[in-house]
Structure 1
Amino acid sequence: MFGIKMRASREGKHISGGERLVSEEKIEEAVLELLRKALTHENGKPDFINIKIEKIDKVNYIKALPIKTITCKNKKEAREVAKKILLEEGIPEEVVEKAFKIIDKGGMRGAAILNLNGERLEPDRERGVRVKNIDTSERLKEKILKEGLGTERTVDAIAIASKVIRLGIIAELCTSDNKSYTTGYVATKKGYFRITNLKNINEPGGRVFFVKDIDEELIKRLEEEAYIIDL
């Protein structure tokens, strides 16, 4: 298997990213797919695109979290739903509110990490922790899109959510950095909860992982271990 990663930016500001895990014969197709994404992203035209291809020796196959969509009429209602899910996982309310502030600020390429005391634990606050070497299987992608379980964004996000929860993250809160995409999600061991209107149009997005503690080994696993998410 080969890991393909794309990152696009303009004047040093992150615009879009993406990745695939594919067999050798599908490298060209995947590269073109990611290049098209970089060149047509709604956040703007990049002046820098980086595409990296590397051989992956070991790939883990795991089952996707169950997907559930919760429809909310506005951001206020959506935030209450997200908060309730996180509170049920033992995340203190003040820590949840801090996480909302982080995702609303945006600007990070990776995820912020908060412990249950609300302390930031990621080594680099501008970069965050980037979950890499992930993909969804073709049959999972087909199921999500054909059965209306989500969108292409869901296909990308379920890979991140399933991997981080598998590796021991208590919960994840995420909104998209796509300006027009307002559906976000909370992921826990109970499932992947798509929540409509978790942010407003044209607002930035972000990602927060909630942990009891984190160390260099877990960060390394999040960034380096390869996972394909399947049915």
Structure 2
Amino acid sequence: MLCFRYQQAGDFVENKFELLRPWVNDILTSIKKDIKADYLLGDKVFYKKHFGNRPLNRLQTEEIFSAFEKELLEGHESLTEWVVNHWVFKHGDLYAHFAERLSEIRPDFNELKELTGPESDQVLRGTEHFGAVDLYLFSVLNGVVFPSSIFEALRADALEAKKIEEANAASDLTQETLQQIIERQQRELSRLQEKFESKVSGVLRKYQVDTEALKKQIRALQKQLQA
């Protein structure tokens, strides 16, 4: 870990997940497979406490995440360590970047107490492609010793990115809903068209039968007149 200490208004934030509350679901989503295939099968006490004797394949993702969030916000140390380690492992490219940049500042970077402003800029240079959210999450979860001003800026960027992401998701949902309405109306139109064509076809067949019957009657009457 890269020693982390975040201060805000003079208070030391001990629980990283209190600080990251808006992103807890995002963090858990990124390691969802590990949670189901590893943690839930390994921690019998946790499983029994939250899910009793229910089989794993009957559990909903939402209730699993709810149980995890509750424990994380309450400061469950071993669970916190497990989640942090698995999330960081999933973001090895971020770790490699930070390790390289911090090594340039001090080879034994785990001994750093707090980066200066210029040192922070050096570490953050070239991180745009990682995205504001992952950059902030990594900095908190993996304990990068940025000064408070840098953390506040990273947090503001992450919150803004989350707001944009949620707005885009809502827009996508609206577009999807409109598309579903269009598709439903197209199916209804096709159904009505088929029904109409079938009805017209039936009327046409009846017309043809009736017409043929009338023709036969006319021919029969003509024969009678000619007799």
Q: TM-score, normalised by structure 2?
A: 0.23
- Which structure has more helix as a fraction of its residues? 2
Higher strand content, 1 or 2: 1
